[in-house]
Chain A
Amino acid sequence: MSKKIRFLILGIILLLALIIFVFFYLNKLKLDKKTAGLSVPAINKSSITSGSSDSNKNTTVSNVPDITMTDNNDKTENEIIDESGPFEMLSADDYYAQNSEVINKIKVADSEFIQSEEQVHTSLTESGFVDFPITSEFAMNGEFFESYEISDSSEVKHPIYETFYVTESDDIWTIMVVNDSITALPVSYNMESNRNVEVIVSEKETIFGYDNVSNQFYEIIPNESEFMVIVVDKIDAATLEELTVEVIDAL
Chain B
Amino acid sequence: MRVKKQVFFKRGIVILLALVSILILPEFNHVKASPEENRGFFQDEIFVISMGDSYSSGEGLESYFGQDAPTYEKVENEDWLAHRSENAWPGKLKVPGLSMALAEYHNENWFFVATSGAETEHLYTHQQKQVDDGGIDDFYYVKPQLAIFNEIGKNKVDYITITLGGNNLGFADIIKKAVLSSPIFAPNALSKRLNKAWKDFYDSNGGVRDKLKQAYFDISEQAGPQAKIIVAGYPRLLDAEGGGLPFRKSEAEKINTNVTLFNEALRLLVSDCRNEGMNIYFSSVEEGFYGHEAYSDKPFIHPICFVKKQDLKGEFIDKIVSKSSVHPNKNGAQKYCDIVQTTINSITHTEFGLDKAVKIKAYSKIEEGQEFLKINGINFEKDVVWTKEFSKSLLGQSLNYYYLGARNGYFYYIDLDNGLYKCRISDGEAVWICPEAKLIATDATIDDSGNLYILGFIGTNFVMVDSEGKIAKRIESFSSEYYWPSDIELKDNELFITFDMSPTEDPYTLRISLPDFEYSFDY
Contacts and interface: CB of A to CB of B under 8 A. Distances in A.
Interface string B155-198: 00000000000000000000001011111111111111111101
Contacts of A62: 287
B110 interface: no
Interface stretch (B131-139, B259-267, B397-405, B461-469): B259-267
Contacts of B316: 132-133, 164
Interface residues of A, number: 69
B8 to A, nearest CB: 71
B180 A60 contact: no
A172 B306 contact: yes
Interface stretch (B276-284, B330-338, B408-416): B276-284
B265 A48 contact: yes
A55 B280 CA distance: 10
Contact of B179 (A67, A144, A187): A187
A87 B250 CA distance: 12
A86 B198 contact: yes
Nearest to A132: B316
Interface in A86-108: 86-90, 92, 95-96, 99-100
B188 A137 contact: no
Nearest to A54: B271
Given A54-B271, A87-B195, A144-B196, A211 B287 contact: no
Interface string A110-135: 00000000000000000000001100
Contacts of B342: 58
B325 to A, nearest CB: 12
A200 B245 CA distance: 13
B257 interface: yes
A230 to B, nearest CB: 14
A2 interface: no
A92 B189 CA distance: 11
Interface in B183-233: 183-196, 198-199, 202, 204, 209, 233
Interface of A: 43-44, 47-48, 50-56, 58-65, 67, 83-90, 92, 95-96, 99-100, 132-133, 137-138, 144, 146-147, 160, 162, 164, 166, 170, 172, 174, 176, 178, 183, 185, 187-188, 190-191, 193, 196, 198, 200, 207-213, 220, 222, 227
23 contacts: A48-B268, A54-B274, A54-B282, A55-B271, A55-B274, A56-B274, A59-B282, A59-B284, A61-B264, A65-B260, A85-B191, A87-B190, A87-B195, A90-B187, A90-B188, A137-B192, A160-B185, A174-B181, A187-B180, A191-B179, A198-B245, A208-B185, A212-B186
